[in-house]
Structure 1
Amino acid sequence: MKSLLEQLPAILADGRREAERVMERAEGNYRIGLQTRELVIPSKDSNWRDLFRGGDRADAVPTNRLIYGDNLLAMAALLAGGEQGGSLRGMADLIYIDPPFDSKADYRTKLQLPFGEIEQKPTTIEQYAYADTWSDGTASYLSNIVPRLALMRELLSDRGSIYIHLDWHVADYVRVVADAIFGSDNFVNEICWKRSDAKGDSAQGSKHFGRVHDVILFYSKTSDRIWNPLYVPLSDSYVEGFYKYRDPDGRQYKLENMLGPGGAAKGNPVYEVMGVTRPWRYSKERMSKLIEDGLVIQTRPGTVPMQKKYLDQSKGVQVGTWWDDISMIRGWSSEKVGYGTQKPEKLLERIISASTNPDSLVLDLFAGSGTTASVAEKLGRRWIVSDLGKPACMIARKRMIDQDAKPFLYQHIGDYQVEQMRSTLGTRFRIGDLAEIVLGLFGALPLPVEENPNKNMGRLHGGKTLVLADSPNKMTGLTTLRRAIEIRDNLMGGWDKVIVLGWNFSPTIGHDIQALGQSDRLEVLVIPPDLLDRLKKKGQKLKADEVRFSSLQYLKMGQVSRSADGTEESLSLEIANYVLLSPEALSLDDANREKLQTVIGTDPMALIEYWSVDPDYDGEVFRSVWQDYRGNTENDDDPYRVMTTARLSGLPKKEGPRRVCVRVVDVFGFEAEAVVEVA
Structure 2
Amino acid sequence: MEEKKRAPRNRTITLSEEDKAQLSSRLMHAEGVSDSDENTFINRTINADLLAALPKLPDAFADLIIIDPPYNLTRNFNGLHFNARSEEAYDEYLASWFPQVCKKLKPTGSLYICGDWKCTSALQRAVQKELTILNRITWQREKGRGAKSNWKNGMEDIWFAVKNPDDYYFDLEAVKIRRRVIAPYKQGGAPKDWEETESGNFRDTCPSNFWDDISVPFWSMPENTDHPTQKPEKLYAKLILASSRPGDIVFDPFLGSGTASVVAKKLGRRWCGVELNEEYAMLAEKRLAMADSDTSIQGYSDGVFWERNTNNLIKAANAKNRP
TM-score by length of 2: 0.72
Q: CA deviation at 1:352?
A: 0.3
1:217 aligns to 2:159 (yes or no): yes
Contact (CA 8 Å) 1:91, 1:361: kept in 2 or not? yes
The match for 1:76 is 55
Q: CA deviation at 1:235?
A: 3.4
The match for 1:118 is none
In 2: Cα distance, 1:192 partner to 1:310 partner: 27
Letter paired with 1:208: N
The superposition leaves residues 497-556 of structure 1 with CA deviations (integer Å, 9 ceiling, x where unpaired) of xxxxxxxxxxxxxxxxxxxxxxxxxxxxxxxxxxxxxxxxxxxxxxxxxxxxxxxxxxxx
The match for 2:243 is 355
In 2: Cα distance, 1:362 partner to 1:157 partner: 11
| 1:160 alignment partner, one of 88, 109, 134 | 109
1:93 aligns to 2:63 (yes or no): yes
Q: CA deviation at 1:333?
A: 1.1
Q: CA deviation at 1:61?
A: 6.4
The match for 2:137 is 191
Residues 212 and 310 (structure 1 numbering): CA distance in 2 closer, same or farther, change over 3 Å?
Answer: closer
The match for 1:247 is 188
Structure 2 SS opposite 1:351: helix
State the identity as a percent: 28
Letter paired with 2:138: C
Which of the two has higher C-alpha Rg?
Answer: 1
The match for 2:147 is 201
The match for 2:176 is 231
The match for 1:284 is none
Contact (CA 8 Å) 2:47, 2:281: kept in 1 or not? yes
The superposition leaves residues 593-627 of structure 1 with CA deviations (integer Å, 9 ceiling, x where unpaired) of xxxxxxxxxxxxxxxxxxxxxxxxxxxxxxxxxxx
In 2: Cα distance, 1:386 partner to 1:198 partner: 27
The superposition leaves residues 58-96 of structure 1 with CA deviations (integer Å, 9 ceiling, x where unpaired) of xx7672111011112211110xxxxxxxx3x11211000
Contact (CA 8 Å) 2:250, 2:272: kept in 1 or not? yes
In 1: Cα distance, 2:221 partner to 2:246 partner: 28
In 1: Cα distance, 2:113 partner to 2:121 partner: 12
Residues 199 and 33 (structure 1 numbering): CA distance in 2 closer, same or farther, change over 3 Å?
Answer: closer
Unaligned runs of 5+ in 1: 1-31, 37-59, 79-86, 110-121, 254-308, 406-679
Letter paired with 1:179: Q
The superposition leaves residues 634-664 of structure 1 with CA deviations (integer Å, 9 ceiling, x where unpaired) of xxxxxxxxxxxxxxxxxxxxxxxxxxxxxxx
Contact (CA 8 Å) 1:359, 1:381: kept in 2 or not? yes
Letter paired with 1:247: G
Letter paired with 1:338: D
In 1: Cα distance, 2:181 partner to 2:164 partner: 38
Contact (CA 8 Å) 2:41, 2:272: kept in 1 or not? no
Letter paired with 1:104: T
Letter paired with 1:188: L
In 2: Cα distance, 1:232 partner to 1:188 partner: 21
In 1: Cα distance, 2:30 partner to 2:279 partner: 22
Contact (CA 8 Å) 1:196, 1:212: kept in 2 or not? yes
Q: CA deviation at 1:165?
A: 0.5
In 2: Cα distance, 1:193 partner to 1:167 partner: 10
In 1: Cα distance, 2:181 partner to 2:203 partner: 15
In 1: Cα distance, 2:103 partner to 2:119 partner: 23
1:176 aligns to 2:125 (yes or no): yes
Residues 310 and 329 (structure 1 numbering): CA distance in 2 closer, same or farther, change over 3 Å?
Answer: closer
Q: CA deviation at 1:378?
A: 0.7
1:368 aligns to 2:313 (yes or no): no
Unaligned runs of 5+ in 2: 1-28, 34-38, 294-323
In 2: Cα distance, 1:198 partner to 1:400 partner: 27
Structure 2 SS opposite 1:211: coil
Residues 235 and 364 (structure 1 numbering): CA distance in 2 closer, same or farther, change over 3 Å?
Answer: same
In 1: Cα distance, 2:240 partner to 2:195 partner: 28
Contact (CA 8 Å) 2:114, 2:158: kept in 1 or not? yes
Residues 157 and 151 (structure 1 numbering): CA distance in 2 closer, same or farther, change over 3 Å?
Answer: same
Residues 377 and 171 (structure 1 numbering): CA distance in 2 closer, same or farther, change over 3 Å?
Answer: same
1:146 aligns to 2:89 (yes or no): no
Q: CA deviation at 1:158?
A: 1.5
RMSD between superposed Cα atoms in Å: 2.4
Q: CA deviation at 1:246?
A: 4.4
Structure 1 SS opposite 2:156: strand
Letter paired with 1:329: P
| 1:325 alignment partner, one of 194, 213, 226 | 213
1:64 aligns to 2:43 (yes or no): yes
The match for 1:496 is none
Contact (CA 8 Å) 1:94, 1:161: kept in 2 or not? yes
The match for 1:263 is none
Residues 61 and 105 (structure 1 numbering): CA distance in 2 closer, same or farther, change over 3 Å?
Answer: closer
Contact (CA 8 Å) 2:62, 2:105: kept in 1 or not? yes
Q: CA deviation at 1:198?
A: 8.6
The superposition leaves residues 287-342 of structure 1 with CA deviations (integer Å, 9 ceiling, x where unpaired) of xxxxxxxxxxxxxxxxxxxxxx5646986111110000011112211211222211
The superposition leaves residues 122-157 of structure 1 with CA deviations (integer Å, 9 ceiling, x where unpaired) of 1xxx34xx35xx5x5332222121232211221111
Contact (CA 8 Å) 2:249, 2:269: kept in 1 or not? yes
Q: CA deviation at 1:102?
A: 3.9
In 1: Cα distance, 2:269 partner to 2:56 partner: 21
Residues 314 and 328 (structure 1 numbering): CA distance in 2 closer, same or farther, change over 3 Å?
Answer: closer
Structure 1 SS opposite 2:142: coil
In 2: Cα distance, 1:235 partner to 1:198 partner: 28
Structure 2 SS opposite 1:375: helix
Contact (CA 8 Å) 1:195, 1:326: kept in 2 or not? yes
Contact (CA 8 Å) 1:373, 1:385: kept in 2 or not? yes
1:104 aligns to 2:104 (yes or no): no
In 1: Cα distance, 2:253 partner to 2:291 partner: 21
Letter paired with 1:155: K
Letter paired with 1:233: R
How many residue pairs end up in the alignment?
Answer: 253
In 2: Cα distance, 1:386 partner to 1:377 partner: 16
Letter paired with 1:328: V
Structure 2 SS opposite 1:233: strand
